[in-house]
Amino acid sequence: MGSPYSSNPQKSRGRLFFEEESAFRSAFQRDRDRIIHSSAFRRLKHKTQVFIEHEGDYFRTRLTHSIEVAQVARTIAGVLGLNSALTETVALAHDLGHPPFGHTGEDALNDLMAPFGGFDHNAQALRIVTMLERHYADFDGLNLTWETLEGIAKHNGPVTGELPYALAEYNEQHDLELTSHASAEAQVAALADDIAYNSHDLHDGLRAGLFSLEELSKMSILEDCFREVDRKYPALDEERRAHETLRRFFGVMV
């Protein structure tokens, strides 16, 4: 049974350019698949999450992070009775606009672009899916549904104040109601982002030697997880102890 707050693909507000409906997939499922097959999504594999890509094949990239966010978002959406396809789509797309070198790269690019209105990764993500992806004969972009575009633009909350140029430009032709809250699915995708990086940054930090397992065990938010693992597996090696503990922490956050 779906939640009354769930987005119904059969009642979608549609796409900017008309397309016939698919016989096999809902509107939101098509959006998800278009994101997965986009050039921008593939390029995320070379973009920094926290550790730069060439430091090793263990650390998360923007691509693996986005996949983990989508998994968390899909799980939460299922529990809450929301539309899992829309939730997953927004989660997969949420970092499409990030430049290389993580937030440091975004800050540098924002400084360089200051004379032209600066740089905002959420606005860039919208620009990618509405203009820069060019695979279709009839339109630029991916021609995603209104609900997906709204989620990409507003998953972190209403957009107020002076709008980034790319966002303002698109919103003139396709009103995304930027000052209101996004769908429940988009809000879940945003929470899933926080859950995923709070978990995997600890994994990656341990692997990089930035802190020790002993230091983590002294964090109040992790104490119960460590206590449960140590009680159940008193002779566990450190690597498995770390994974078992952080796995439980991940579950607590979800």
pLDDT at 75: 96
Let me know if 241 is exposed, middle or buried by CB neighbors in 10 A (0-12, 13-18, 19+). Answer: middle
Q: What is the pLDDT of residues 172-227, one digit of tens each?
A: 999 999 999 999 999 999 999 999 988 888 888 888 788 899 999 999 999 999 99
Q: What is the pLDDT of residues 221-244, one digit of tens each?
A: 999 999 999 999 999 999 999 999
**Model's pTM, two decimal places?**
0.90
pLDDT band of residue 1 (cuts 50, 70, 90) is low
pLDDT at 91: 98
The C-alpha atoms of residue 176 and residue 182 are separated, in whole angstroms, by: 9
Q: What is the pLDDT of residues 36-71, one digit of tens each?
A: 999 999 999 876 555 454 455 556 788 989 999 999
CB environment 99-122: b (16+ within 10 A), e (fewer): bbebeebbeebeeeeeeeeebbbb
Query: Which domains can be identified in the chain, with CATH numbers?
Result: 25-184 (1.10.3210.10)
Tell me if 5 sits within 8 A of 182, measured CB to CB: no
